Amino acid sequence: MGNLVPRSLLAATATLAVAGLYGGLVRIGVPLPYWTGPAELHGLVMMQGVFGTLVPLERAVALRSPLWFSGPIISMLATAGLLAGLPPGMGFFAYVIAALIFVGMSSYVLRLQPTAFNIALLLGAGALLLASVQVLVEDGAVTSALPWWLAYLVLTISGERLELSRLMGQSPLAVAVLFAVSAALLLGCAGGLDNSWAMMSFAAGLMAMAAWLWHHDIARHTIRMRGQTRFMAAAILCGHGWLGVAGLLAFGVIPTAAGPDALIHAITIGFAMSMILGHALIILPAVANVRIGYTLWMFAPLALLQVAMGWRIMADWLVPDWRWPSGLLTVVALAGFAALGIGVRARARRRSAP
């Protein structure tokens, strides 16, 4: 299979991300031509089509088994089909199948390597499955799926950070605390975010997870290093900070006038996208042998992403109609990071050419 399937899936997922981001810009009020599919399916495209494809793809590459690639392939094809006009029920059912395969893969990994971080990753996969089921049962409505999607991101990233933090050694008590925090988060999801006690449990889970990650993550130590390592640590610590902000938003400490918009994007953009920037330099080569170079200038798009998220929260609080510049800043930050990485790699190749 080589690199062809991973590279093709990565390219297809990047295309879906562009469509999803375009839809997000339209929804937030950027004056662009209205594109029905991406605008109406923005949440599904980003959560199921992008995040729900990238993580299973990463795991499938690590296992080197063609069987597990079926999950991300189905997820990607379902999203593309929905954007192209596929009957919604078929697409939603395909998401459930893809998530079931992901849960099966995560269970298989746990059996091979019974560790705490693999349990956390399995919990994340289970959250994605429950989100997919909610989308199918509610015929595309995402209200009930939303907390499970957010938990999927939080638990998955926390599990991956726990895996990397093994180098520091985690006590049994620290691991037990992590799972207690995960339980609070999942309890909030089960109760639904329109329920006051469930929202408090969800908020407490977010705040406690942010505190746990900040205290235990190896990034607190690698931030003192130089070059690419410092950049990665900075991006990861920014993500932890936004997870804490998400907890404050869920508690209602930070007032907003646009419903859960700020909470959703503090996790999906502030937390998850910061993590993606922090991991991209090592994940892309590992997943699809796509190499990008590091440059100090990458701190600029990382900083811009933080400004974009801060703008969105302030606009949600004060003037919701002015959220749209935050969307543009987010897209510029992500595009700028990609352009810098590709540009550095291209210059390195030219210098090494005979």
Mean pLDDT of 315-328: 90
Distance of CA 17 to the CA centre of its chain: 12
Residue 278 in any domain: the answer is no
Token pair 């006009």 is found at 85
Q: Side chain identity at 284, as an amino acid letter? A: L
Single pTM value for the model? 0.94
- DSSP annotation of 322: G
pLDDT band (50, 70, 90) for residue 79: very high
3-state secondary structure of 291: coil
CA pair distance 184, 179, nearest whole angstrom: 9
Alpha helices in the chain (DSSP H): 4-28, 36-40, 42-44, 52-63, 70-84, 88-112, 116-137, 145-164, 172-191, 196-216, 219-222, 227-251, 261-265, 274-288, 299-318, 324-352
Cβ contact 151:107 at 8 Å: no
What pLDDT is recorded for position 154? 97
pLDDT at residue 353 tops 60: no
Residues of the chain with pLDDT > 70: what percent?
A: 94
Crossing angle (nearest 10°) for helices 172-191 and 145-164: 170
Per-residue model confidence (pLDDT) at position 284: 81
Distance between the two ends of the chain, CA-based, in angstroms? Answer: 31
- Based on the structure, what is the number of domains in the chain? 1
> Over 80: is that where the pLDDT of 3 sits?
no
Residue 171, in any domain of the structure = no
In this prediction, residues 170-177 reach a mean pLDDT of 89
Residue 281 lies in a domain: no
- Domain coverage including residue 68: 1-142
* 98 domain-assigned: yes
